[in-house]
Amino acid sequence: MGNVLFTNVRILDGSGANPVPGSVLVQGNRIRAVGRSTAPISPAGATVIDGAGATLMPGMCEAHTHFSWNDAATLAAIQTMPLEEHVLWCAKVAKKYLEAGFTSCVGAACAKPRLDVVIRNAINSGQIPGPRYLAASQEITVPGGLGDETLPHLPFPEFSFGVNVNSADEMRKVVRMFLKYGVDSIKLNLSGDNFTPQSPSETAWMSDAEVAAAMDEVRVRGKRGTAHARSADSVKQALRHGIDVIYHASFTDTETLDLLEAAKDRVFVAPGIAILYAMLNEAEQWGITRAMATDMGYQIEWDNALESLRAMHKRGVRILFGGDYGFAFTPHCQNARDLEFFVKYLGFTPAEAIRCATEYGGQIMMKGNELGLVKEGYLADLLLVDGDPLANLAILRDPKRILAVMKDGVFAKSPEIASERAWGRAA
Ligand SMILES: [Zn+2]
């Protein structure tokens, strides 16, 4: 792995600070020097990349990723993809995420028991390209809850999107199975979801005894619990049991917000609001009109989610971007759209939105002291971006504007040779 010196770049360090002109030296897989001025850093044998005024920023982290969602419109269509094709699909998606600028992804559940683990291991061993990845379990649910897709006339659990448990003992058994496979996190479906009308978002499903059994096992193995929790009761349940990553958190009350604030140094909220937006506004071609989506409860959830998330943001709760891309309505790799949503609907500044994907990204990846910032000593996960993301966040979802992607000191997407200055300076 060669050393690389980026010169003539605008350094957006990912902390929320304003960008500064300068140069950045990468040695091996670490950022060795950050020169915050136009004064040159000695290349010392490094390959020099002249950024020509482009922005150099940390690689982005997607906090709520489902590689195995296959851009289908139903849970059943995701689940019934044969295993062999499914593995290939996940490998393809992992590469796509990395090239789109996501150098880290947090797995938030996969569709078959070992998909996430196998893909993570293949990335880590260099068999396939992909982001740094934390592998999740399948969704764990209870009969009737979100993810229980078992059919009364076809008693085959493999048809179910989530794994069903029906007692604390069954929970323990299933969690141990996933831990044996090597997952980084166990995903529990604590609330329902408007996508499944028999178990809508505002309902909670799992008993405290079941959640406690899961978290017992998670703690024994030093792993992490994550929760699908849309209802206020389910968010409270997640907090009560020490679950660190809360997905959605659409419905809150004052008590829930107080509890979230009290746990803000431990807890991450990754709401995945794009799916709510898409169901209301963009799902008609899959047969879901705005009127139908409203009937399903999406308007009420959208309104509540915006209010809840704005309140969390004001209270300093870490809200991370990404989530539930991989459905027909929210295809993979449009994820950076969330940054625009955070500004437009949640009251974030553009710099705060980027920080959700960079500094907080390093933290949710459990590498808060070495990942997610352009900073001396940090891991060299970097993007070279044509233009100023603070002026126009949409450039972060335009592949042409992502000039280069570096992960762990190695280019996953190589820049044009510096002297050619192939890119412009457009905002
Ligand atoms: Zn999800």
pLDDT at site 173: 98
Say whether pLDDT at 426 is over 50. Answer: no
Mean pLDDT of 287-291: 95
* Ligand 1 center–CA 49 separation, angstroms: 38
Ligand 1 centre to CA of 138 (Å) is 11
Full-model pTM: 0.94
171/152: higher pLDDT: 171
Whether the pLDDT of residue 424 is over 60: the answer is no
Residues 6+ apart with CB under 8 A from 140: 147, 162, 163, 165, 171, 174, 175, 186, 187, 188, 189, 214
pLDDT classification of 140: cutoffs 50, 70, 90: very high
Residue range 243-266: mean pLDDT, rounded: 98
pLDDT at 152: 85
Query: How many whole angstroms from 361 Cα to the centroid of ligand 1?
Result: 17
* Strand extents, DSSP E, 230-272: 245-248, 268-270
CA 35 – ligand 1 centroid, Å: 39
What mean pLDDT do residues 113-125 have?
98
Q: Does the structure show a pLDDT above 90 at 154?
A: no
The model's confidence at residue 127, banded by pLDDT at 50, 70 and 90, is very high
pLDDT of residue 421: 44
What mean pLDDT do residues 385-397 have? Answer: 96
- The confidence score (pLDDT) of residue 394 equals 95
pLDDT higher at 150 or 341: 341
Is 348's pLDDT higher than 90?
Answer: yes
The per-residue pLDDT for 419 is: 42
Q: Extract the tokens encoding 325.
A: 């891309």
At 183-215, the pLDDT tens digits run 999 999 999 999 998 999 999 999 999 999 999
Contact 51, 374 (CB under 8 A): no
Query: pLDDT band at residue 423, thresholds of 50, 70 and 90?
Result: very low
Q: Using 50, 70 and 90 to split pLDDT, how confident is the model at 145?
A: very high
Distance 214 CA to ligand 1 centre (A): 19
Span from the CA of 317 to the centroid of ligand 1 (angstroms):
19
Report CA(397)–ligand 1 centroid distance (Å): 20
Contacts of 300 (CB under 8 A, 6+ apart): none
Confidence band (pLDDT; 50, 70, 90) for 350? very high
Output the pLDDT for position 1. Answer: 55
Measured in Å, residue 210 CA sits from the centre of ligand 1 at 21
Q: What is the pLDDT of residue 76?
A: 85
DSSP string, 30-81: EEEEEE-SSSPPP-TTPEEEE-TT-EEEEPEEEEEE-TT--SBSSHHHHHTS
Residue 416 pLDDT grade (very low, low, confident, very high; cuts 50, 70, 90): confident
Split at pLDDT 50, 70, 90, the class of 422 is very low
For residue 149, the CA-to-ligand 1 centroid distance in Å is: 16
Q: Which amino acid is at 190?
A: L
pLDDT band at 341 (very low <50, low <70, confident <90, very high): very high
Residue 417 pLDDT: 56
Rounded to an integer, the average pLDDT of 368-378 is 98
Backbone angles phi, psi at 134, to 5 degrees: -105, 120
pLDDT of 427 > 70? The answer is: no
| Residues contacting residue 48 through CB under 8 Å, at least 6 positions apart | 4, 5, 7, 418
**pLDDT score of 406:** 98
pLDDT band for position 156 (cuts 50, 70, 90): confident
Q: Please, which residues have CB within 8 angstroms of residue 105's CB and are 6 or more apart in sequence?
A: 61, 62, 65, 67, 94, 97, 131, 132, 133, 134, 322
Strands 102-107 and 410-413: unpaired
**72-98 pLDDT, tens per residue?**
988 888 989 999 999 999 999 999 999
Separation of CA 272 and ligand 1 centre (Å): 7
> Is the pLDDT reported for residue 418 higher than 60?
no
Cα 140 to averaged position of ligand 1 atoms, centre (Å) = 12
| Average pLDDT along the chain | 94
